Amino acid sequence: MKIQSSAPSNIALIKYMGKTDSTNNRPTNSSLSFTLDNLRTFVEITPLDSERDQWEALAGEDLLPVELSEKGRARFLAHFAFLKLEWGLEGHYQIRSASNFPSDCGLASSASSFAALTLATARLAEEKGREVPDVFIFVSFDDGSLGDVGTGGHSSGGISDATLGSCGGRR
């Protein structure tokens, strides 16, 4: 079984600058971002006969090589461990990820990476018969791919879209 998903990047038009309340994660000001649907992060999850989950770069046409620091890899796998616990998923998995745009260029590559990982894990949970929270509403597109319409609660009020299905299946 191979689960694949992708999520778009975005760029901040108005960026929040600090927090008024770190405990409750309240920003100093509102922010506004623009979704860049063609600039995406792709994630692939496959079962792994191992004692722990592992991450490696996903190779593919139009995908840029990714190098995660040890800290970045730990954060990514910790988020996956949290989602597995939340949705009652057992076993260990190989997680591969890459983007079709460079990191460290002012785009939200980390946000799109975590979004794609969350979507792929939600799909894995559904495949395993687990209940996925209502914020993940999966819809089918004419090309047979699946997508997510998130409620998000973002200050921009927009609806985000992320394609699930083939990593090569860009819309």
Q: What is the pLDDT along the chain (171 residues), one digit of tens a residue?
A: 899 999 999 888 887 778 888 888 788 888 888 889 999 999 999 999 999 999 999 999 899 877 888 999 999 999 999 999 999 999 999 999 999 998 877 787 888 999 999 999 999 999 999 988 765 544 444 444 444 433 333 322 222 334 333 233 332
pTM for the predicted model, two decimal places: 0.74
What is the DSSP track for the chain? --EEEEEEEEEEEE----EEETTTTEESS--EEEEEEEEEEEEEEEEE-SSS-EEEEPP-TTPBP----HHHHHHHHHHHHHHHHHTT--SEEEEEEEESS-SSSSS-HHHHHHHHHHHHHHHHHHHTTPPPPTTEEEEE-TTS-EEEEE----TT-PPEEEEES-TT---
The CATH number of the structural domain formed by 3-132 is 3.30.230.10
Q: Where are the domains of the chain?
A: 3-132
The per-residue pLDDT for 148 is: 40
